[in-house]
Amino acid sequence: MIELGVNIDHVATLRQARGTKYPDPIEAALIAESAGADAITLHLREDRRHIQDRDVEILRNRLTTRMNLESAVTDEMITIALRIKPHDICLVPERREELTTEGGLDVVKHFDQIKRACEKLGEAGIRVSLFINADALQINAAARAGAPVIEIHTGSYADAHSFDAQEKHFLEVQEAVGLGRNLGLKVNAGHGLHYENVQAIAAIPEISELNIGHAIVARAIFVGFKLAVQEMKQLMLESRK
Ligand SMILES: CC(=O)[C@@H](O)[C@H](O)COP(=O)(O)O
Ligand SMILES: NCC(=O)COP(=O)(O)O
């Protein structure tokens, strides 16, 4: 069965916009779990623009599903992850000035650094995922680096402005998923997925998990967080029937 990791970053984005205590990403995570989320994803960015260290600390003890911590491949973040010990860590690229995570990790270029991080985190019992583009070179490098999981960046598919472009990016994702599975990896996907574009991706049978945040938080404004999560999960499950 396909799983849903609910990303709560943008609940924290709203809180940080005013420096208030609300809305609380912890509360959002607990509601998401009660609505059927299979994991909670959160990205502790180096610039702390949304999720804060305290959120990660508190959530680690309160989640009843899995914590999927997204982090850059830096000494600071690896140290935090080794202390927090999330179930899963998803290593992502980060640029301070970016609006959002604009591409996948370049595992080929930073191979030694990423392999070392995979070893360290793996030895601590944390399952490592690499957030990469739908690119055969990157997928092969991820497997060689020793990551048991990859997450295919679906941003190009989600942002496509024409049907043809979307179809092209869909086929790239589909091929990437097949390659990852043939290499024995668990394959997840995410970024930019929303209620209108999720089903084609969710229907790819070898995908284990989708991580979705921005669209769910946006939908929650109109229908509430619980229903927003339930609707997304329902669409995903329907696509596998
Ligand atoms: C890696 C990833 O895709 C998520 O972290 C998501 O992008 C969260 O939103 P921001 O990129 O705005 O931090
Ligand atoms: N790794 C992708 C993720 O966690 C959610 O991305 P988005 O749905 O907020 O674009």
Domains belonging to the chain, first-starting first, are 42-207 (3.20.20.70)
| Residue whose CB lies within 8 A of the most ligand 2 atoms, among 14, 149, 193, 208, for a mutation test | 193
Rounded CA-CA distance 102/183 in Å is: 25
Indicate whether residue 194 lines ligand 2 (CB < 6 A).
no
Contacts of 72 (CB under 8 A, 6+ apart): 45, 46, 91, 92, 93, 94
User: Ligand 1: distance of its center to the CA of 129 in Å?
Assistant: 15
User: Ligand 2: distance of its center to the CA of 99 in Å?
Assistant: 13
**CA nearest ligand 1 atom 1, residue:** 101
Known binding residue 10? Answer is yes
**SS3 category, 88:** strand
The pLDDT score that the predictor gives to residue 222 is 98
Protein residues whose CB sits closer than 6 Å to any atom of ligand 1: 7, 9, 43, 45, 70, 92, 100-101, 131, 191, 213
Strand pairing class (39-43; 3-7): parallel
**SS3 category, 191:** coil
As a residue count, the chain comes to 241
User: Ligand 1: distance of its center to the CA of 86 in Å?
Assistant: 18
| Residue whose CB lies within 8 A of the most ligand 1 atoms, among 6, 7, 55, for a mutation test | 7
Which of 153, 169, 191, 209 is an active site residue? Answer: 191
Rounded CA-CA distance 41/151 in Å is: 12
Rounded CA-CA distance 185/181 in Å is: 5
The pLDDT score that the predictor gives to residue 97 is 81
* Nearest residue to 190 (alpha-carbon basis) of 202, 179, 175, 206: 202
Known binding residue 213? Answer is yes
The pLDDT score that the predictor gives to residue 42 is 98
ipTM of the complex: 0.94
Active site residue 94: no
Residue 225: CA count within 13 A, CB half-sphere:
21
Residue 76: CA count within 13 A, CB half-sphere:
8
Q: Which ligand is nearest to the CA of 216?
A: 2
Q: Which ligand is nearest to the CA of 99?
A: 1
DSSP letter assigned to residue 74: S
Which of 3, 70, 151, 209 is an active site residue? Answer: 70
pLDDT per residue rounded down to tens, the chain (241 residues): 999 999 999 999 999 999 999 999 999 999 999 999 999 999 999 999 999 999 999 999 999 999 999 999 999 999 999 999 999 999 999 988 888 888 999 999 999 999 999 999 999 999 999 999 999 999 999 999 999 999 999 999 999 999 999 999 999 999 999 999 999 999 999 999 999 999 999 999 999 999 999 999 999 999 999 999 999 999 999 999 8
Rounded CA-CA distance 215/193 in Å is: 7
Helix pair angle (225-238, 214-223), 10° resolution? 120
User: Ligand 2: distance of its center to the CA of 214 in Å?
Assistant: 6
Active site residue 70: yes
Active site residue 209: no
